[in-house]
Amino acid sequence: MSTLATTQPRFTTGIYHGKLGMWVFLASEIMFFSGFFGAFIVLRNLNIEVFTASAHMLDKTVATINTAVLITSSLTMALAHLALERGEQSKFRLFLFITILCAFGFLGIKSYEYATKFGHHIYPWTNTFFATYFTMTGFHALHVIGGIIPMIWMLGKSLVKGYPQEMHHRVEVLGLYWHFVDLVWIFLFPTLYLIF
Amino acid sequence: MTSGMSFQEIQKSYFKVFIALLVLTALTVAVTTIHFGDVANIVIGVFIALAKAGLVAYIFMHLKFDNKRLRYFVGVPVFFFVTLVLTLTMLGL
């Protein structure tokens, strides 16, 4: 019965506690990233030539591919939750596995981008554009890692004894976090790569 | 939780959103090759990003299916974010 108490929508909020908790966290995350975007806009307006020249050094093609990879992982995450809600264990495992693969794919492509920049002797301290670029994408990458860890734990658990269908709420809440990570990238991509 | 929609309908909406996100990504990259003017290009980029964000939040993050009160709750930090970005952008124009 303890599971029921936390996974049923509550009268006062209309949603279950776990979901409310995640949304409270995501609300704080929106404000966390707002600070970066605010700083980016102010620094850009003060150093427009530096920002334009530096942004043109970024690889748009690779970033576009990475955007598609992250969007795909969002789809498979949503499908994984849907599968578990219906008790389809093997589909759940498959979709969760693809989500993890895409997440690692994203990090791999991001590492390649970083390595290319370091190869050209471009570092966070090169100029204000790259300082904000590395800070924003770096914190985003940390969020990706933060999503991969519970995903692997869930996949491991489902491989050992099957993930309990009645705990599909946990997957939904992790999905909320994962879609948010996708959302942040949706704003980072045009801001850093496209508007210059 | 999924308010009367069948499994097939929800799955279909996920795939539709996925296709829409890919199309909008291609579009936002494509418009950068055309120069509408510095401000116009930024405005277009921001609006496409907002459309993508709306799709993700509404369908993938279940705001469409959840209790309506949650939307007001989420709206508060989103309002602060949009206000901050708009104010700082306009100050720089």
Q: Do B76 and A183 touch (CB under 8 A)?
A: no
Q: Which residue among A13, A41, A68 sits closest to B85, beta carbon to beta carbon?
A: A41
Q: Cα separation of A106 and A151, whole Å?
A: 15
At A163, is the secondary structure helix, strand, or coil? coil
CA A30 vs CA A95, A194, B11, B37, B78: distances in Å: 27, 22, 28, 29, 7
Cβ neighbours of residue A39 closer than 8 Å, sequence gap 6 or more = A132
What percentage of chain A reaches a pLDDT higher than 90? Answer: 89
Q: Cα separation of A118 and B82, whole Å?
A: 33
pLDDT of residue A5: 62
pLDDT for A1 beyond 50: no
Q: Would you list the domain boundaries of chain B? A: 7-67
> What is the second-level CATH architecture of the domain A24-194?
Up-down Bundle (1.20)
Question: Are A12 and A166 a contacting pair, CB within 8 Å?
Answer: no
Interface confidence, given as ipTM, is: 0.93
Q: Do A75 and B69 touch (CB under 8 A)?
A: no
- The contact set of A with B (CB < 8 A) is 9, 13-15, 19, 23, 26-28, 30-31, 33-34, 37-38, 41-42, 44-45, 60, 64, 67-68, 71-72, 74-75, 77-79, 82, 86, 172, 175-176, 179-180, 182-183, 186-187, 189-190, 194-195
Q: Give A116 to chain B, closest Cα distance, Å.
A: 22
CA A79 vs CA A86, A105, B78: distances in Å: 11, 19, 26
Q: Give A186 to chain B, closest Cα distance, Å.
A: 6
Count Cβ atoms below 10 Å from residue A8 Cβ, excluding itself: 12
pLDDT for B2 beyond 60: no
* pLDDT, average across residues B65-80: 92
Q: In chain A, what residues touch B48 (CB-CB under 8 Å)?
A: 190
Q: Which of B2, B18, B6 is nearest to B64 (CA)?
A: B2
Question: Are A191 and A55 a contacting pair, CB within 8 Å?
Answer: no
pLDDT digits (tens, 9 = 90+) for A18-54: 999 999 999 999 999 999 999 999 999 999 999 999 9
Kindly state the DSSP code that residue A58 receives in the 8-state scheme: S
Q: In chain A, what residues touch B27 (CB-CB under 8 Å)?
A: none
Cβ neighbours of residue A183 closer than 8 Å, sequence gap 6 or more = B53, B56, B57
* pLDDT, average across residues A118-141: 96
pLDDT digits (tens, 9 = 90+) for A41-99: 999 999 999 999 999 999 999 999 999 999 999 999 999 999 999 999 999 999 999 99
Q: Give B34 to chain A, closest Cα distance, Å.
A: 11
Give the residue with greater pLDDT, A143 vs B69.
Answer: A143
- Residue A24 carries which side chain, given as an amino acid letter? V
Q: Do B61 and A179 touch (CB under 8 A)?
A: yes
